[in-house]
């Protein structure tokens, strides 16, 4: 069944999200405070607005940027969007679903978004509106394609109404949909990015070590991508609470750390790996 969807924040994520839902026949309108963004979308034949009436939509998706300032997340743009949304929600008679797609820290939806919406609207979550967290797993250069062909869809919610609405929206994309509490999904989004950052950092460090030893680092990494179970088995090593054991891992991590120190090679991540394992044990 076609839905009316409002995209709040129409940058890379919002644009890919809205365009993806258009392909499934939904009626989508893009909102942004940047007129250049709206002009670009309008020239592509998409519907845009410089203000919105929430009563015209079934779902609003908040895709506003949450940058970092002075080492911490900056929610100023995000808060402005949520407060405006809450004010608009105050005069809506129908039951509306607010979907947070911006990347936010664990607890934000329950402890910040919902209280702000309730305060600005004078309404109560579940009784008068629903709210959930639905992160994006999009590569910036291929965001549109990734939205249309997702490998997984995650939704943090605690009410059946939002589950039913989002299930109807996402089921046509034919990907696995995982539902859990908002905190779990908020945390998973960050861990998703932290893992990618850690993997890149690990292989960068290995590349530097290989260069110092006169070894082809790219050849080493290419082989490891095929040989290491941690790369080809998605279930390997993801059960938390237990240190690594067995014969090889404890022995070889310490042996290579000793080798690196003998050759005055920095291997910061390896030091951290061994420390985490020892503290866990």
Return the number of other C-beta atoms located less than 10 Å from residue 24's C-beta: 15
Contacts of 226 (CB under 8 A, 6+ apart): 232
Partners of 31 in the β-ladder: 8, 49
Tell me how far apart the 2 most distant CA atoms of the chain are, in Å: 71
Which DSSP letter does residue 110 get?
Answer: I
Burial of 133 (0-12, 13-18, 19+ CB in 10 A): buried
CA nearest neighbour of 132 among 153, 112, 158: 158
Decide if 117 contacts 82 (C-beta within 8 A): yes
For residues 113 and 101, the answer to whether their CB atoms sit within 8 Å is no
Phi and psi based region of residue 95 (left: phi greater than 0; alpha: psi -120 to 50; beta: remaining): beta
248 has catalytic annotation: yes
Can you tell me the distance from the alpha carbon of 179 to that of 169, in angstroms, rounded to the nearest whole number?
14
Tokens of 184: 């779990």
CA 281/CA 271 separation, integer angstroms? 16
CA atoms within 13 A on the CB side of 184: 9
Question: Which one, of 150, 114, 125, 108, lies nearest residue 20 by Cα?
Answer: 150
Match 């979907």 to its residue by tokens. Answer: 99
Q: Which of 49, 120, 132, 248 is catalytic?
A: 248
Q: Which residues are catalytic?
A: 248
């Amino acid at each position: 069944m076609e839905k009316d969807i409002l995209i709040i924040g129409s940058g890379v994520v919002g644009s890919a999200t809205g365009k993806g839902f258009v392909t499934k026949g939904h009626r989508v309108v893009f909102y942004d405070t940047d007129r250049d963004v709206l002009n670009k979308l309008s020239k592509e034949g998409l519907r845009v607005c410089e203000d919105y009436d929430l009563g015209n939509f079934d779902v609003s998706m908040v895709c506003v940027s949450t940058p970092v300032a002075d080492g911490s997340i900056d929610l100023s743009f995000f808060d402005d969007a949520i407060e405006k949304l809450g004010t608009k929600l105050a005069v809506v008679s129908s039951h509306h679903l607010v979907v947070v797609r911006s990347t936010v820290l664990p607890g934000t939806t329950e402890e910040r978004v919902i209280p702000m919406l309730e305060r600005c609207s004078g309404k109560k979550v579940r009784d008068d509106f629903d709210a959930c967290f639905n992160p994006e797993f999009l590569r910036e250069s291929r965001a549109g394609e990734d939205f249309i062909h997702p490998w997984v869809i995650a939704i943090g919610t605690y009410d059946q109404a939002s589950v039913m609405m989002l299930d109807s929206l996402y089921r046509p994309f034919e990907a696995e949909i995982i539902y859990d509490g908002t905190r779990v999904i908020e945390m998973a989004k960050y861990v998703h990015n932290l893992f990618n950052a850690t993997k890149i950092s690990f292989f960068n460090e290995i590349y530097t070590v290989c260069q110092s030893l006169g070894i082809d680092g790219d050849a080493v990494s290419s082989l490891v991508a095929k040989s290491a179970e941690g790369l080809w088995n998605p279930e390997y090593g993801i059960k938390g609470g237990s240190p690594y054991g067995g014969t090889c891992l404890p022995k070889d991590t310490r042996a290579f750390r000793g080798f690196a120190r003998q050759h005055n090679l920095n291997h910061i991540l390896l030091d951290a790996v061994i420390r985490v394992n020892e503290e866990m044990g």
